[in-house]
Structure 1
Amino acid sequence: MTRIKPLSLAVATACSFIAGMPATAQQANAADTEGQVASVVVTATRGAKAVDKIPGAVTVIGQQDLAAQYQIADDPSQALATFVPGYSPSRQKMSSTGESLRGRQPLILLDGIPQSNPLRAGMREGYFADSAIIERIEVISGASAVQGMGATGGIINYITKSPRVNGTTVGLNARASTQFRSDNLDWKTGVTVTHKTDAFDMLGYASVQRRGMSYDGRGRRLGIDTVQGDTLDTRGHDLFLKLGKSFGDQRIQLTVNRFDLGGEGDYRNQRGDLAAGVPTSSVPGTPEGEPTKNEVRSVSLDYRHANLAGGAFTAQLFKHDFEALYGATNAVTFQDARIAPVNALYDQSHIVADKVGSRITWVRPDTVVPGLELTLGLDMLRDHTLQRLAVTDRTWVPELKFQSTAPFAQLEYEFGNFTVRGGVRRERAKLEVDTYTTLAFYRNTQVEGGSAKSTKSVKNLGAVWRFAPQWSVFAGSSEGFGLPDAGLLLRGVNSPNQSVSSLVNLQPIVTRNNEVGINWRGERGQVGLSRYDSRSKLGSVIRIVPAGNGVIGIVERVPTVVKGWEVSGDWRPTRDWSVFGSYARTDGKTAASQGAPLDLALGARSQGPNKAVLGTNWRLLAGAQLRLQATHLFDRDINIGRRVGTSNLEEHFVGYTLVDLSSSFDTPYGRFGAGIENLFDKQYVGYYSQSAAALDAGNTYAGRGRTLALTWSRMF
């Protein structure tokens, strides 16, 4: 039975009273000077659209909320976990394994450019840009196909900053955090240059960052993940440039981003003591091989015409290059007696994913009849992804050459207080793989090259009824699609006379999300509730099985169902004080095999625990803000005594509550800020470590203890 602690009960109860609208995220900062709620417009839907006309759950995290959160922790996934009800807890690592949205994987975008790598999901796509260049984050929860494959859990679109006022400005920003230990200083500094005229604008940004180690609530050094990737003991930098030129109804824009984050290699992982309840730690020392790193290069060229044939036309050409180097390990899968004695060979996984694509959209209002909006589009993508072993230059996953073409059409009709919309997207995909040989662990099996194709139509239909002033209800059904992890399937072939054409089933993972909700938007706040049911008949579940002296992951194509409900919102009793909160309950089920009953709970690799967030903003005086927030994760005990083959599915999680504090002050010398993460210095072990990694003494990571962060920024 779930145990509810007193503080946890207080958080959940308060959240239920201020239950808010899934179409907003802590929008206390969205109020204008007269106390009215500003209209929130979302662009992740492929056309600017007010949230009260979208039949689904949409979260918009604004600049003020992001700034306050990054004062507490400069961690993108922690911001999502705070503001998005259905997002699972942050790992506080470079690796995002176990982070999900409503029990499924979201598609991550940066200004519309896909950052996710569904062909070989290495779970390192969470770090791709400096947080200082992000203006807002738009999150569409629930399956969606509007932005292409991979959005079975939803869409997370990071929108970068643009110049807002004419003239030239130079901005400086600095951040430093510490736990007052000799090796845990975390600092970042950046410079921003903007220039804007009526026809031209430019924004450039450059930053340098160094992260030290961190300590838990007991003063013990946190464990560093030197294999999957960590933000501890790292260095990073970002170079970002956006150039725009407007001429009449037209605009052309070039955006370039170059981001690097890599380990320093000064600490080694120290295994914990499972029997004594001691989590993993770190000790000074040089780990084997090269440190882990992420390298991301993105370029996009955007063209917009506000009045082309009576509609708004947008076209985007993009190129995205991603590299992730993992740490050295003598995993059983890497051993080859022809190269070195068994268990003596250390190697490093290296994922390279290069994407080139285009997105074309045309939106025409009042088509044929007033109120009927037509949206047409065409997406094209070429994605080449491979996984190699960097030390010995061996192929682990052969180069996956993927191409897709997807036309789509959507109609939206607004009449009176009703908005009805529906659309279809036709995805044509092809995967080609050359002949390759698997690793020695898989018997050096030669696999004949080949190709696989799939064609699938995905649909959406929904309606919004604004039945009274400030009130609306919505109902929607939308489909999203993804592909099984082809790389994980192909690298494990161990029997002869196999071919890619017979091995790879490109039948997509089609997820249908049915959702209903009710919303209220008033002058002093917003309240609402939504209930969803997400189903995939042929899902993809990764199960961990023992192999030699290690473990390996295998993909099971089994049905999955995720049901849940969410509330979130805010209330502003005065101009100087607001309260915000959310609650999310998620219940995911899957089966042991095709045709078996759906009686297995989704594990921590796929689903987060139930979660409640409660906080308050207080404007002490003009230019001074204070924020206090609490997050509670509820206990979760699942699949007691259950196994599938050699895979143990039982998981246990003891929940905890974390409280954070942030503040900012405007002065003639710039804006100063202070944040305290884990205000009460709570000792805890993270959700994923307690659940999925509970039996791995080298992978049970405690969370950060009390941490002080100071920030400063100034525009010249």
Structure 2
Amino acid sequence: MSMKPLAAAVALACISLPALAWQEPEQKEEAEMNSVVVTATRTAKAVDKIPGAVSVITQQELATQYLIADDPSQALATYVPGYAPSRQKMTSTGESLRGRQPLILFDGIPQSNPLRAGMREGYFADSAIIERIEVINGASAMQGMGATGGIINYITKTPRTPGTSYTVNARLASQFESDSLDWKTGLTVSHKSEAFDMLAYASVQRRGMGYDGSGRRLGIDNVQGDTLDSHGNDLFVKIGKSFGDQRLQVSLNRFDLSGDGDYRNAPGVVAQGVPTSSEPGTPVGMTPRNRVRSGSIDYRHAALFGGALTAQVFTHDFESLYGATNTSTFQDRSIAPVGTLYDQSEVVADKLGSRITWVRPDFLAQGLELTAGVDWLKDHTQQRLAGTNRTWVPELKFRSLAPFLQLEYEIGPVTVRGGVRHENATLDVDTYTTLAAYGSRRVEGGSAEFSKSVKNIGAVWRFLPGWSAFAASSEGFGLPDAGLVLRGVNVPNQSVSSLISLQPIVTRNNEVGVNWRGAKGQFGLSRYDSRSKLGSVIRITSAGIGLVERVPTTVKGWEANAEWRLMRDWSVFGTWATTDGKTAATQGAPMDLDLGARSQGPDKAVLGANWRLRPQAQLRLQASHLRDRDINIGRRVGTSNLEEHFKGYTLADAALTWDSAYGRFGLSIENLFDKQYVGYYSQSASAVDPTATYAGRGRTFALSWTRSL
């Protein structure tokens, strides 16, 4: 099958960039290369010394993308080649990284909930406080459990200028319908002095409804949660003090996002291709919401025993309430007649943990760097039915202690790195009884212990000024959705300790790639092969119940990203990714099933250009293309229909920013040509569900204003 025009254009740009790169002076290329440093690898490293594919989304890129759409997952889908398309909902089901789940961090604090993945981890902080996003692509154990697809680390802003400043920001977005207004306003206080530094931020946000390219009101997800017809607020404080070689910092974040409950889901007509819509009305029960509370104490000593010590103690409390439904799973004759009982699911996850890292350069020999440390985590997660106070998933008491050791040796233009992390984990579950829909089965409590060493090895060769090539093999450690396993027990005489489905997922990612970075731009191309012998695939039965299947999975793919400054005021950029995920129907069966939309995104290409109209103004144009995908034709496993169809589409956006004496203004148009389309996940995984075939946003205008005082 031939590539679509947009994908071909990106590929052509990627092919032509290396030839153009030779025009740059060596000194400028090296300076540009060394200026890009990431910290998600546990210690600050220049990208040309990391054996792997790394993406860094800068503050300027984030500001432009958030002007177009204030949607964290849409920013990732734009800038990270292997990230699946955004669903434009509060729930992020299907938003994977390279066909697997990433570990999401917020200043190093884990936001993901792998024990009971409610897929609500995408909304935990206001976008205005994010300085940059670092993405480590591929399985990794550097930051602990859950990074089978990679690491996404959101890093908050830090005061840079001495003195005290106040910044006001506001954003308005509308489709010029009476109920389509979005608005957000926030205040930032920044202080930096010899005594201490501080960043404080408070915001309030209200989101209206949206309309598709045909002018039809978008469908609202009253059960899983939606950003339509919602309100939110965030309060963030970070205070630090440096004294000599040491620094102490405390940060707190309080984030809330909740639906308003003014609209109800209006089913579409699948046979006629009419997508889901919404109508005024009050849904049953409490509105869906996210409630996130996190905090950390960070300590750094830059000269301890010849090395640098960093230590973090963190806490993270997460609650996600889902909307009311009378699904058959919630029915119980002892409470109400079958079909009349509405109930609401709520996932509660509380984490307490610590991370200690010590980095010693020139350890025993010149050029040999030692990184050592230990992580500790206590994670208590449960899922209950809030309306009737019933247990759906019992409290999962997880403990993990993981020491790690890594050596890195630099020999001229070559950097070699290898390390090992030993996970010692225990999962305790008390005796519980499943819901009536599963037969009210009594499950004997017990423990499941895991002890596993996960390794990484890789090398980078800087073979020419600005050019580097890498080869790496790394492992990531995770668990299947333990809550989904335990809540669905429907046979008698089961015990937690005997459930094989609770065995860990160890994913190995093998990857090779080449990178160039110079004064005029950058280019990267990589090929990866990710395998897990005992993976975790969620399949939906004909009754709409999710089941975890422990079968092997393999994901292979190509990724490319490029940026080139054509001249002083012009630059172009692009990303391209093709992903091929395979699994088996059962253990031992052929690996001939394609991964569905729950696990894998379609092939994707993004192409854009930046034009500085004048010193104070910049215009950005970008387009993203998703390729058609038709998989598993006629295939079923049990009662699960695995056949999926997706008709791809291309969307274009535009954004203009300009500085004035009254502050920085921004104007954007999302979906510039008002394209009518149904999202990837809705077309593929929810194609036969009239309540979940959601169209995407039509043309949307946004205006922003930021001013520092």
Q: TM-score range by the shorter chain?
A: over 0.9
Distance 1:203 1:473 in 2: 39
Partner of 2:36: 40
Greater shift in the superposed pair: 489-498 or 43-52: 489-498
Please state how far the C-alpha of 1:623 moved relative to its aligned partner.
Answer: 1.7
3-state DSSP of counterpart to 1:77:
helix
Q: For the structure 1 residues 314 and 714, does the alpha-carbon distance in structure 2 shift closer, same or farther, using more than 3 Å as the test?
A: same
Distance 1:706 1:373 in 2: 52
Partner of 1:126: 122
After superposition, residues 310-709 of structure 1 pair within 5 angstroms as: 310-503=306-499, 505-547=501-543, 551-709=544-702
Please state how far the C-alpha of 1:134 moved relative to its aligned partner.
Answer: 0.2
Q: Is the 8 A contact 1:478 1:514 kept in 2?
A: yes
Q: Is the 8 A contact 1:20 1:581 kept in 2?
A: no
Distance 2:452 2:97 in 1: 24
Partner of 1:78: 74
Greater shift in the superposed pair: 388-397 or 618-627: 618-627
Q: For the structure 1 residues 400 and 12, does the alpha-carbon distance in structure 2 shift closer, same or farther, using more than 3 Å as the test?
A: same
Please state how far the C-alpha of 1:246 moved relative to its aligned partner.
Answer: 0.6
Q: Is the 8 A contact 1:406 1:427 kept in 2?
A: yes
Q: For the structure 1 residues 708 and 262, does the alpha-carbon distance in structure 2 shift closer, same or farther, using more than 3 Å as the test?
A: same
> What CA deviation, in whole Å up to 9, does each residue of 1:586-641 have, x standing for no partner?
00000000000100000000000000000001111112111000000000000011
3-state DSSP of counterpart to 2:470:
strand
Alignment partner of 1:102 out of 92, 98, 101: 98
Q: For the structure 1 residues 309 and 36, does the alpha-carbon distance in structure 2 shift closer, same or farther, using more than 3 Å as the test?
A: closer
Distance 1:9 1:48 in 2: 34
Q: Is the 8 A contact 2:581 2:595 kept in 1?
A: yes
Q: Is the 8 A contact 2:248 2:299 kept in 1?
A: yes
3-state DSSP of counterpart to 1:563:
strand
Alignment partner of 1:294 out of 290, 308, 325: 290
Normalising by structure 2, report the TM-score. 0.97
3-state DSSP of counterpart to 2:545:
strand
Please state how far the C-alpha of 1:80 moved relative to its aligned partner.
Answer: 0.0
3-state DSSP of counterpart to 2:451:
strand
Q: Is the 8 A contact 2:7 2:604 kept in 1?
A: no
Please state how far the C-alpha of 1:375 moved relative to its aligned partner.
Answer: 0.3
Q: For the structure 1 residues 223 and 18, does the alpha-carbon distance in structure 2 shift closer, same or farther, using more than 3 Å as the test?
A: farther
Distance 1:596 1:426 in 2: 31
Q: Is the 8 A contact 2:34 2:46 kept in 1?
A: no
Partner of 2:83: 87
Q: Is the 8 A contact 1:55 1:462 kept in 2?
A: yes
Alignment partner of 1:135 out of 116, 119, 131: 131
For 1:186, the aligned partner's letter is: D
For 1:233, the aligned partner's letter is: D
Q: Is the 8 A contact 2:30 2:518 kept in 1?
A: no
Q: Is the 8 A contact 1:634 1:656 kept in 2?
A: yes
How many residues align? The count is 702
Please state how far the C-alpha of 1:503 moved relative to its aligned partner.
Answer: 2.2
Partner of 2:224: 228
Distance 1:519 1:493 in 2: 49
Q: Does 2:194 correspond to 1:201?
A: no
Q: Is the 8 A contact 2:247 2:299 kept in 1?
A: yes
Q: For the structure 1 residues 705 and 247, does the alpha-carbon distance in structure 2 shift closer, same or farther, using more than 3 Å as the test?
A: same
Distance 1:684 1:611 in 2: 16
Distance 2:384 2:584 in 1: 32
Alignment partner of 1:170 out of 166, 189, 205: 166
Please state how far the C-alpha of 1:16 moved relative to its aligned partner.
Answer: 4.0
After superposition, residues 187-198 of structure 1 pair within 5 angstroms as: 187-198=183-194
Distance 1:208 1:363 in 2: 41
Q: For the structure 1 residues 455 and 36, does the alpha-carbon distance in structure 2 shift closer, same or farther, using more than 3 Å as the test?
A: closer
Identity across matched positions, percent = 74
Structure 2: gaps of 5 or more residues: 20-26
RMSD: 1.6
Partner of 1:713: 706
3-state DSSP of counterpart to 2:420:
strand
Please state how far the C-alpha of 1:206 moved relative to its aligned partner.
Answer: 0.2
For 1:469, the aligned partner's letter is: P
Please state how far the C-alpha of 1:101 moved relative to its aligned partner.
Answer: 0.2
Normalising by structure 1, report the TM-score. 0.96
Please state how far the C-alpha of 1:369 moved relative to its aligned partner.
Answer: 0.6
> What CA deviation, in whole Å up to 9, does each residue of 1:45-81 have, x standing for no partner?
0000000000000000000000000110000000000
Distance 2:102 2:553 in 1: 16
Distance 2:30 2:362 in 1: 33
> What CA deviation, in whole Å up to 9, does each residue of 1:513-562 have, x standing for no partner?
00001112222121231000000000000000022xxx100000000000
Please state how far the C-alpha of 1:507 moved relative to its aligned partner.
Answer: 2.3
Distance 1:386 1:36 in 2: 47
Q: Is the 8 A contact 1:329 1:347 kept in 2?
A: yes
3-state DSSP of counterpart to 2:485:
helix
3-state DSSP of counterpart to 1:350:
strand
> What CA deviation, in whole Å up to 9, does each residue of 1:413-466 have, x standing for no partner?
001000000000000000111111110001111111111101000000000001
Partner of 2:274: 278
Greater shift in the superposed pair: 230-239 or 436-445: 436-445
Please state how far the C-alpha of 1:576 moved relative to its aligned partner.
Answer: 1.1
Q: Is the 8 A contact 1:37 1:524 kept in 2?
A: no
Distance 2:686 2:501 in 1: 30
3-state DSSP of counterpart to 2:104:
strand
3-state DSSP of counterpart to 2:325:
coil
3-state DSSP of counterpart to 2:683:
helix
3-state DSSP of counterpart to 2:77:
helix
Please state how far the C-alpha of 1:32 moved relative to its aligned partner.
Answer: 9.8
Partner of 1:184: 180
Distance 2:343 2:76 in 1: 33
Q: Is the 8 A contact 1:452 1:505 kept in 2?
A: no
Distance 2:15 2:365 in 1: 43
Please state how far the C-alpha of 1:9 moved relative to its aligned partner.
Answer: 5.3
For 2:493, the aligned partner's letter is: N
Partner of 1:263: 259
Distance 2:536 2:455 in 1: 21
> What CA deviation, in whole Å up to 9, does each residue of 1:364-410 have, x standing for no partner?
00001110000001000000000000000000000000000000000
Distance 2:235 2:509 in 1: 38
Distance 2:29 2:140 in 1: 35
